[in-house]
Amino acid sequence: MIRLILSIFTLALCALSAANSGVSPEIAVVVQADETFSPQAWQAMEAESKRIARQAGLRVRFVERAAASAQEFTDLVVFRMKGRCEMDTTPALLDERGPFAWAFTANGNVLPFGEVKCDRVRESIKTAFRPADYRKADALFGRALGRVVAHELYHMLANTTKHGKTGVARHAFSAQQLVAEKLDFGKHERGLLAGRPDFSR
């Protein structure tokens, strides 16, 4: 397992080289799931990450780890999804606290390799659910995961450990923000990702 993770990490580190050709290259988000991953949650996660990325002129595409070796990518990042990435109807575990995800760093640089704690995200959003929300639980879970992934993509692609004051790049999310109808990048973060920092905000 350690050897597999190291090989993925090495592949990602080598492949994340910026191609500044005027047209934003597609960024492959390679996902390695440790346990079950709801198809509805995956679809919603990808859709939400794509929506948020488009605000900064970025194009992303999600690829399962098993399919990645047969494809070629200009740029890629790798996420290991730890825990069970599907919803259930059990009561929320109140002790599921801590970061939802993180990107790894080395020598002051943010690496294109991160982890997402599906269990923590799932238990957090349960506290914001109304009874009717369980009819679309996996879709809301995927939306939350998409925002968590977009947050870490910001750190990776902007190569910064700093957080924004508002929106997807802020330091922490509430359960309500994770499943709200809309959550976007702030103006400064959009500019930073697009290569045109705007410090007027």
Please tell me the predicted confidence (pLDDT) of residue 23.
Answer: 55
Q: Which residues pair with 60 in a beta bridge?
A: 27
User: pLDDT, tens digit, for every residue of 151-201?
Assistant: 999 999 999 999 998 899 999 999 999 999 999 999 989 988 887 444 333
Give the Cβ contact number of residue 151 at 10 Å.
29
CATH of region 2-19+26-193: 3.40.390
Q: Could you tell me which residues come within 8 angstroms of residue 69 by beta carbon, excluding any fewer than 6 positions away?
A: none
Give the Cβ contact number of residue 44 at 10 Å.
21
The answer, yes or no, to whether residue 19 has pLDDT greater than 70, is no
User: pLDDT, tens digit, for every residue of 38-70?
Assistant: 999 999 999 999 999 998 899 999 999 989 888
- What residues does each domain of the chain span? 2-19+26-193
If you average pLDDT over residues 16-39, what whole number do you get?
A: 77
Reading the block at residue 66, the tokens are 């098993």
The answer, yes or no, to whether residue 7 has pLDDT greater than 80, is no
User: pLDDT, tens digit, for every residue of 100-139?
Assistant: 999 999 999 999 999 999 999 999 999 999 999 999 999 9
Q: Strand 59-64 vs strand 75-82: parallel, antiparallel, or unpaired?
A: unpaired
Please check whether residue 45 is in contact with residue 82, taking contact to mean a CB–CB distance below 8 angstroms: no
Strand order across the 26-33 sheet: 59-64, 26-33, 75-82, 109-117, 101-106
